[in-house]
Structure 1
Amino acid sequence: MINVGVLGATGAVGQRFVQLLASHPWFNLQTLTASERSAGKSYRDAVNWRLDEPFPESVGDIVVKNTDVNSVKDLDLVFSALPASLATNLETDISRAGVAVCSNASSHRMDEKVPLVIPEVNPDHLGLIDLQRDSGSDGFIVTNPNCSTIVMVSALNPIKHHEISDIRVATMQAISGAGFEGVAAMSIYDNVIPFIGSEEEKMENETQKIMGTFDGSQIISAPFSVSASCHRVPVIDGHTLAVWLGVNASVEELKNDYRNYRAPFSGLPTQPDKSVILLEQEDRPQPRLDRNRGRGMTVSVGRVREGIRFIAMGHNTIRGAAGASVLNAELIVSKKYL
């Protein structure tokens, strides 16, 4: 078993990490960290459990530690649910201490030597780990993308062999993406908020890195343009995206690509049977009906039509956050980096 911990274990994404790792067949969850006010308490006493899954009693007695290098230096791997302001320096320090970091934070996503990975899309980008290890430490950082980026790029993966010239996307993002305290009730009820700080830039820049080419020493960005408009809507979980493509393919060709798509590998515990599924009903996908497909790890695509236009939807705190990071870690283990 590989000994792991979660940084920021009491927040929205941290709780998802704990839920996914509590009975994981490969990872032994033994360390949970949080703020000073939670440190020293048992996890069951420190956390206000808000997920729709039952509290995992097997980790309830773990004593929460401070979020620092000393708390995790004896682990093989940590999962980071930290805000970017804390993650920037701490994740670097942890990796330099010889511990692998799988991060959901945005701090290092665009670093030249840090892989920004969706396992089904760009597993070869893990080659950047070797460049990080050239510094002499066994530790490294691997990041997963922004939650909306993951949904969109996953939906593009089955059709990426066609020539894409530009991507335009409008998002309808769930409130859980802002954390438990992120959006005030009076702001989101009966409303749509047409701005999410830094979200549009993340989608534009991260997509080009993920869909770029690794030449053995660097990532060469994808050649197409990306334009995003991001919006918060009163949905609890599940980000919905309307995507317009400049692509050299017909609607029927794209639908057949989706129908026939299979992930390039199998056998990872968190991997769903279908990473991407095409829904042919004219009014799908919908967050309430489709977000939990594949235990929250499947991205649903629908309304592929002339234009070329389609709708993509995925669970933002599972496929778009904690689940993505756990799947990255499983890929890392399968590729013998740990």
Structure 2
Amino acid sequence: MSVRVGVIGATGAVGQRLIQQLAPHDDFEIAALTASESSAGKPYSEAAKWRASGPIPDGVGDVTVVETDPSAVGDDVDLLFSSLPSSVGERVEPAFAEAGYVVSSNSSNGRLDDDVPLVIPEVNADHVDLIEVQRDERGWDGALLKNPNCSTITMVPPLAALDDAFGLESVTVSTLQAVSGAGYDGVTSMEIIDNVLPHIGGEETKMETETCKLLGGFDGAELSWHDVEVSASCNRVPTLDGHLENVWAETAEDAGPAEAEQAFRDMPSVDLPSAPEQLIHVHEDPNRPQPRLDRDAEGGQAISVGPVQETPDGILFDSLAHNTIRGAAGASVLNGELLLERGYL
């Protein structure tokens, strides 16, 4: 029997990606779509300016959009996927959790809260059990689970592989981030064509803090953050989809290119429906990975790395992920699958 799910913030870019991921899903059935008050009461096909590739999935266009309020969603929905702006999410998501809904959220609000699990299933699936602490402390019947920022999720799985094999001391990263990461109206053509924007507000801080939480430990009661030092410089480039990052990792033990590549290949995936068969794809060609060639690896859920080079203190590699799939909607769906597997629905 399928789990009935809803998408809150369903008309936006990530909301549309979520619908694409959820509509054909064997375990999830779309039962509710929410948006702003101005969209409520309209069929989704009228409320949303559909900009995702391909048509609106069958059956979704006729769904009546409701307001983003717990009283409007219905008691028969088991799981909500949130793609709300953080300014809205910080108010709305706790209200849904307090009302008994389990929320898998892509929004940045609350990611660093002590009792909110921030999860990449292949990296720190055990952190999902922080929900028990969250429910005890907040008195919620529901729960709130977060996936990290799209730039963070691009580099953390390879870093987790290195940390497991050699230990991590410090990380320096420079990003080349696609325009879709800013949303459809986020960057104008006059800004980005023939140009690179050398600053993305708040992005560096997200990478520097979320990484330490994701790589930390959980003892069943509280999290201990990793002490790795992370320095990030984030840049917007004229690519549609796919964040490419140049990562310098200082390791505690010596890690040559061959050993690092093997650690990447050995990083296990997870037994979830949307998970890639091979989490990290290693490219030895010095011209790979490239956004146009590699962002869609395994449905956009895999991470691509290469080439791996040795430095005096560790290694240098490029890492690439599809920012609106692995870095956003696909990550939320994976977390929803993890919630289902762990019995939180």
> Do Structure 1 and Structure 2 share a fold, with TM-score over 0.5?
yes
Give the CA deviation at 1:260.
3.2
SS of corresponding position for 1:231 = strand
1:16: which partner in 2? 17
The CA distance in 2 between the partners of 1:251 and 1:126, in whole Å, is 33
**Normalising by structure 1, what TM-score?**
0.97
Which moves more between the two structures, 209-218 or 229-238?
Answer: 209-218
Residues of 2 paired with 1:312 and 1:36: CA distance?
A: 40
Amino acid of the structure 2 residue aligned with 1:167: V
Q: Does 1:315 align with 2:322?
A: yes
CA distance in structure 2 between the partners assigned to 1:262 and 1:111 by the alignment:
28
Using the TM superposition, give the Cα deviation of residue 212 of structure 1 relative to its aligned residue in structure 2, in angstroms: 0.6
Q: TM-score, normalised by structure 2?
A: 0.95
Matched, 1:261 2:262: no
Q: Please tell me whether the aligned partners of residues 162 and 168 of structure 2 are also in contact (alpha carbons under 8 angstroms).
A: no
Contact 1:102 1:142 in 2 (8 A): yes
Shift of 1:273: 1.2
Match of 1:169 in 2: 173
Paired with 1:157 and 1:305, the residues of 2 have a C-alpha distance of 18
* Equivalence for 1:25: 26
Aligned to 2:153: 150
1:276 maps onto 2:277 in alignment = no
Q: Deviations over 1:107-157 (max 9, x none)?
A: 010011000000000001011100122144320000000001001102223
Q: Distance in 2 between matches of 1:229 and 1:285?
A: 20
Aligned residue number for residue 242 of structure 2: 238
Q: Which stretch has the larger CA shift, 244-253 or 102-111?
A: 244-253
Q: Deviations over 1:78-129 (max 9, x none)?
A: 1100000000011001000010010000001001100000000000101110
Quick one: distance in 2 between partners of 1:54 and 1:279? Answer: 33
Contact map agreement 1:72 1:78 (CA 8 A) in 2? no
Q: Secondary structure of 1:59's match?
A: coil
Q: Which of 209, 212, 226 is 2:213 aligned to?
A: 209
Q: Which secondary structure state, in structure 2, belongs to the residue aligned with residue 240 of structure 1?
A: strand
Q: How many residues align?
A: 336
After superposing the two structures, state which structure 1 stretch, 253-262 or 322-331, moved more: 253-262
Alpha-carbon separation, structure 2, partners of 1:71 and 1:178:
29
Question: 2:302 & 2:99 partners in 1: Cα distance?
Answer: 35
Q: Secondary structure at the match of 1:230?
A: strand
What is the rounded CA distance, in whole Å, between the counterparts of 1:285 and 1:191 in structure 2? Answer: 21
Aligned match of 1:335 = 342
Aligned residue number for residue 118 of structure 2: 116
Distance 1:195 1:136 in 2: 40
CA distance in 2 between partners of 1:10 and 1:132 (Å): 29
Q: Secondary structure at the match of 1:306?
A: strand
Residue number among 125, 129, 132 corresponding to 2:131 in the alignment: 129
Amino acid paired to 2:30: L
Amino acid at match of 1:20: Q
Is residue 67 from structure 1 mapped to residue 68 from structure 2 by the alignment?
A: yes
Q: Percent identity?
A: 50
**Residues in 2 aligned to 1:84 and 1:330: alpha-carbon distance in whole angstroms:** 23
Please show how residues 97-112 of structure 1 align to structure 2 within 5 Å. 97-112=99-114
Residue identity opposite 2:68 in structure 1: T
RMSD over aligned Cα atoms: 1.1
Structure 1 CA distance, aligned partners of 2:162 and 2:147? 21
Contact 1:73 1:94 in 2 (8 A): no
2 CA distance for matches of 1:194 and 1:159? 28
In the alignment, is the contact (CA less than 8 A) between 1:33 and 1:65 conserved in 2? yes
Match of 1:179 in 2: 183
Q: Which amino acid aligns with 2:180?
A: S
8 Å Cα contact 1:73/1:99 also seen in 2: no
Task: Tell me by how many angstroms 1:73 deviates.
Answer: 4.7
Code of the residue aligned with 1:262 in structure 2: it is P
Structure 1: where are the runs of 5+ without partners? none
Report how far residue 38 of structure 1 moved. 1.4
The more displaced of 307-316 and 156-165 is 156-165
The residue number in structure 1 matching 2:141 is: 138
Structure 2 gaps of 5+ residues are none
- Give the match's secondary structure for 2:117: coil
Distance (Å, rounded) in 2 between the aligned partners of 1:257 and 1:47? 43
Separation of aligned partners in 1, 2:268 and 2:60: 35
Give the CA deviation at 1:2. Answer: 1.3
Aligned to 1:191: 195
